[in-house]
């Protein structure tokens, strides 16, 4: 009989606010990460601080926010009312304390429960807050949520407002760095949703005059089929256009908060748009034909919104307020009135839109037979060849969605590489898809090739993205290829596939490249894995004597026992990002089209050969 464990009062303990946040950071800021993904914790920390500044702006206090990030330290300064001096320390260090419980002061606030800034405080190795009001300033400094210095109130001539400085704790955020692309996108979204607001970030001015219309302009990767439709009403703003791209692309917001996972407002917008278009043209078009190629933005303001997590990435509210209409009625009525009026007043836009819908309809019917055969073939091949070694948890599983861990699909080349990853992976959250060779260069081809090409058809089926990116089965799609010429070529061909047919996968931050070590440096006591020549040199210097140095030329050379370290908690992923100033067609034409003098010059200037990567060692 098993020994009965003691369960007494001593087993019951209460954690103070900062201990609980540090013990369970995911409850407050989502996943931790190293800054390689747009929703990593360090960006949520920045967002939580900026949200408070935005709330001040929305309430009519302060039109400028100054933000700087240098040496991993973040400074955020607004010119709002400033935190009341006597409650400043409580506001950043005492749970269930804040000004947003009073809905009169913050009727449509982003931050609701007074947790965000406390989480930032607890998860920072250094945190400083300064409040300036009525010619006085109050300052306090914290370390990991512990108050270390409280300054006396002093007189000041500085403008009123609040300044927060924080340094994310490297004990929690391993090897992190702020990526400017993600920070700038976050800040631009604030500007788009708050016209008249100026954000100064590291010397760059971020400002928008036309709100969601500017957002859609900046995010267009292809030429629009018709001019952007921009509609504004009380507590709602919409911008819509179509391109020749495949799929659907949405940018949705609640109370100025970007909701990358959508929610009720985005779902109702998609449905209401189709309903309005059908009624306007008097035809029962397929919903997929109406929305194919759409690029849309929707922003709503809601009283006391309900989000599905503290990080507020998905809206759960079904009403726009305690006494307001349903989300469905609110959005449907607005589009029925405003979009219908716009299309009647702009017949050229209506005609262009209808042509795009009819084009999608023709393409869908042309591919109907091919799709049916392709799905059957994909099922048969997957059953026999086992190209996909799946995991047990998936992104689109309905149950336990909030607490579900992130899932990853590794796309590998060759049996040896896929074998090593398969043996060392976490079977709950990591899946492996094996390529049998170099994929087809899909540049300039139609989506018909996705179903006719076995490799693309199987990959599409594995990802479950045929109908919509919302059905994606994995949080992260990771290209895992060798760090040689062939590996780089395969990597480029896969990126081309996604850019050509599923650009939303990249735009929504799902595509990554796996970084694996180039070198192993070891002696009898220690083994150091190095991801660059600089790391190799440092490792050699740190080890005594003459260490053994191994250059990994392929993933298959790394044993499963070693591989588990490179795809575990310390996994290094490089996100595939699209520059805002480079349309996708031009990008693909340059890299994947016919050879041009410009591309040849680019290759020569950026060419690296083996001797550049490995220096002679003593």
pLDDT tier at 243, thresholds 50, 70, 90: very high
Question: Which tokens is 110 given?
Answer: 């982003």
Tell me, what's the pLDDT at 602? 66
pLDDT tier at 579, thresholds 50, 70, 90: low
> What does the mean pLDDT of the chain come to?
83
**Cα atoms found within 13 Å of the Cα of residue 202, Cβ hemisphere only:** 13
Whether pLDDT at 532 is above 50: yes
CA proximity to 518, closest of 414, 613, 618, 415? 613
Quote the percentage of the chain above a pLDDT of 90: 37
Instruction: Calculate Rg over the CA atoms of the chain.
Output: 26
C-alpha 530/C-alpha 375 separation (Å) is 43
Question: Which tokens is 336 given?
Answer: 């029925």
Instruction: Identify the residue with better confidence: 97 or 80.
Output: 80
Q: Give the alpha-carbon dihedral of 446, 450, 454, 458, to 10 degrees.
A: 170
* 608: Cβ contacts below 8 Å, ≥ 6 apart: none
Question: Which tokens is 79 given?
Answer: 């010119």
Q: Which of 21-35, 311-325, 497-511, 548-562 shows the lowest per-residue confidence on average (mean pLDDT)?
A: 311-325
Tell me, what's the pLDDT at 233? 92
What average pLDDT score do residues 133-152 get?
93
Whether pLDDT at 213 is above 70: yes
Q: What is the pLDDT of residues 163-188, one digit of tens each?
A: 999 999 998 988 899 988 889 989 99
pLDDT tier at 363, thresholds 50, 70, 90: confident
Cβ atoms < 10 Å from Cβ of 596: 11
* Domains along the chain with CATH numbers: 17-206 (3.30.565.10), 212-362 (3.30.230.10), 386-516+554-613 (3.40.50.670), 517-551 (no CATH)
**Highest mean pLDDT: which range of 297-306, 313-322, 366-375, 379-388:** 297-306
CA proximity to 183, closest of 273, 72, 77, 106? 72
Distances (CA, A) of 165 to 268, 273, 536: 39, 43, 35
Q: Which of 110-119, 213-222, 251-260 shows the lowest per-residue confidence on average (mean pLDDT)?
A: 110-119
What average pLDDT score do residues 298-312 get?
77
Query: DSSP letter string over 149-181?
Result: EEPPPEE--SPSEEEEEEEE-TTTSTT----HH
Q: Whole-model pTM?
A: 0.76
Whether pLDDT at 151 is above 50: yes
C-alpha 316/C-alpha 310 separation (Å) is 12
**Highest mean pLDDT: which range of 290-304, 397-411, 443-457, 594-608:** 290-304
């Amino acid at each position: 009989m098993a020994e009965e464990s003691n369960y007494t009062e001593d087993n019951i303990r209460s954690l103070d606010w900062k201990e609980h946040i540090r013990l369970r950071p995911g409850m407050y800021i989502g996943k931790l990460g190293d800054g390689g993904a747009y929703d990593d914790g360090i960006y949520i920390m920045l967002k939580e601080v900026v949200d408070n500044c935005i709330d001040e702006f929305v309430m009519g206090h302060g039109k400028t926010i100054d933000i700087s990030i240098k040496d991993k330290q973040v400074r955020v300064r607004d010119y709002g009312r400033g935190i009341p001096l006597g409650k400043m320390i409580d506001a950043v260090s005492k749970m269930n304390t804040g000004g947003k419980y009073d809905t009169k002061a913050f009727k449509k606030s982003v931050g609701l429960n007074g947790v965000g800034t406390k989480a930032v405080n607890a998860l920072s190795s250094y945190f400083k807050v300064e409040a300036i009001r009525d010619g006085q300033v109050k300052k306090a400094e914290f370390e990991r949520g512990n108050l270390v210095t409280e300054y006396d109130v002093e007189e000041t001539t500085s403008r009123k407002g609040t300044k927060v400085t924080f340094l994310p704790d490297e004990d929690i955020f391993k090897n992190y760095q702020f990526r400017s692309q993600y920070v700038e996108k976050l800040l631009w979204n604030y500007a788009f949703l708050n016209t008249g607001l100026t954000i100064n970030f590291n010397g760059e001015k971020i400002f928008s005059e036309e709100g969601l219309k500017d957002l859609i302009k900046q995010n267009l990767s292809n030429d629009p089929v018709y001019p952007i439709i921009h509609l504004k009403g009380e507590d709602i703003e919409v911008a819509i256009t179509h391109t020749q791209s495949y799929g659907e692309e949405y940018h949705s917001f609640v109370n100025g908060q970007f909701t990358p996972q959508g929610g009720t407002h985005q779902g109702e917008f998609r449905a209401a748009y189709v309903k309005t278009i059908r009624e306007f043209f008097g035809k029962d078009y397929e919903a997929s034909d109406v929305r194919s190629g759409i690029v849309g933005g929707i922003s709503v303001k809601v009283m006391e919104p309900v989000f599905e997590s503290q990080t507020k990435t998905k809206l759960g509210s079904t009403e726009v307020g305690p006494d307001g209409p349903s989300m469905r009625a609110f959005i449907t009525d607005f589009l029925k009135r405003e979009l219908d009026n716009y299309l009647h007043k702009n017949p050229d836009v209506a005609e262009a839109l209808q042509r795009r819908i009819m084009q999608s309809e023709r393409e869908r019917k042309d591919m109907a037979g091919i799709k049916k055969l392709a799905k059957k073939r994909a099922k048969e091949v997957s059953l026999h060849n086992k190209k996909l070694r799946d995991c047990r948890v998936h992104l689109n599983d309905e149950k336990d969605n909030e607490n579900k861990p992130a899932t990853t699909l590794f796309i590998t080349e060759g049996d040896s590489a896929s074998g090593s990853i398969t043996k060392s992976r976490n079977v709950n959250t990591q899946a492996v898809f094996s390529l049998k060779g170099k994929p087809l260069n899909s540049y300039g081809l139609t989506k018909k090739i996705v179903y006719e090409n076995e490799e693309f058809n199987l990959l599409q089926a594995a990802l479950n993205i045929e109908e919509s990116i919302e059905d994606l089965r994995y949080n992260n799609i990771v290209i895992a290829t060798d760090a040689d010429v062939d590996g780089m070529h395969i990597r480029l061909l896969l990126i081309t596939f996604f850019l050509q047919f599923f650009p939303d996968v990249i735009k929504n931050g799902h595509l990554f490249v796996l970084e694996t070590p180039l070198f192993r440096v070891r002696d009898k006591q220690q083994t150091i894995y190095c991801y660059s020549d600089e790391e190799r040199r440092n490792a050699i210097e740190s080890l005594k004597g003459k260490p053994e140095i191994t250059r990994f030329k392929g993933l298959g050379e790394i044993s499963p026992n070693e591989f588990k370290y490179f795809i575990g908690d310390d996994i290094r992923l490089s996100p595939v990002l699209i520059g805002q100033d480079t349309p996708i067609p031009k990008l693909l034409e340059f890299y994947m089209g016919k050879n041009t003098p410009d591309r040849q010059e680019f290759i020569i200037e950026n060419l690296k050969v083996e001797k550049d990567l490995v220096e002679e060692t003593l």
